[in-house]
Amino acid sequence: MSKKILANDGIDAVGQQMLEQAGFTVVTEKVAQENLAKELNDKGYIALTVRSATKVRKDLIDVCPNLKVIGRGGVGMDNIDVDYARSKNIQVINTPAASSNAVAELVFAHLFNAVRFLYDSNRQMPANGLDKFDDLKKKYAKGIELKDKTIGIIGFGRIGQQVAKIALGCGMKVLAFDPFVKEAKLHLDIHGLANAEVTVPTVSIDDVYAKSDFITVHVPGGKLITETEIAKMKNGVILINTARGGVIDEVALVNGLNSKKIAHVCLDVFENEPKPSETLLHHAQISLTPHIGAATNEAQERIGVELAEKIIAALK
């Protein structure tokens, strides 16, 4: 049996090394989507790993009978027809644990950026810092602190819980909602302090909407927040989406910003990736990153290791 694996969206060197030491040949050269089926069949690949760029749909699965494993480097698998693949006896795996801290830290990178206007001041200072320093100082003088504010976390799995840990470390109040989690016991990774634990009970989603100063979403997909949900929120709320494009309706977001109901929006994901709405890209009250939630060196190494371990186990 062939032991070839195509890592079409790349894999960290440590994970690649683990696979090669286990006897697999790992190819990381990118194959265009339209050529993928032919390449998989012609070269006899038995496993394919992807991130968010490569799509693995029913039509590809149907014409690749040698495929035994599809691996997703990351959490969400909306670019893979998971149930259909499994119905064809193809194992589908992902790496839910590896990127939690990276995504959680990006949430706070966005939050600190928003409350101190860094997204705007970093643009204005190079252009106007010499001539209008005092004007800019006045413009950005009404920042707020995160301490003692309330963060609402919708989706309280691994990533949501990691967000809560950082929030607690910043002195914030945490309101979490998850229909599948009654409470979470969080181990706080505080250097010099052993066995620091706190139990966070979940609340109703309406409590999250009504009482949160900031709301961050960590769910696998669906249109969760629309005009109806935004109407339930505090005036001046800040929303963060590092989960999936469309979880917060983009039209409703812009309407909420323009009406001043929402003070600011932080987006790492978009409905129409890789061609986000120009309205979002140019809105003065939106700060943006190009889907980099898991894009840290440390997370990519953890993803590669977790992928390698699971592929080796699946193909034993």
User: Distance between CA 262 and CA 43 in Å, rounded?
Assistant: 52
Residue of 110, 158, 218, 244 marked catalytic = 244
Residue of 51, 158, 291, 302 marked catalytic = 291
- From the CB of residue 149, how many other CB atoms can be counted at a distance below 10 Å? 18
β-sheet bridge partners, residue 152: 175, 215
Residue of 271, 273, 301, 309 marked catalytic = 273
Asked if 17 and 81 touch (Cβ cutoff 8 Å), the reply is: no
- From the CB of residue 20, how many other CB atoms can be counted at a distance below 10 Å? 14
Tokens 């120009």 found at: 278
Q: Is 298 designated active site? A: no
Question: What token pair was written down for 156?
Answer: 């309280």
Q: Is 191 designated active site? A: no
CB burial readout 10-19, b (16+ within 10 A) else e = bbbeebbebb
Q: Is 291 designated active site? A: yes
Active site residues: 244, 273, 291
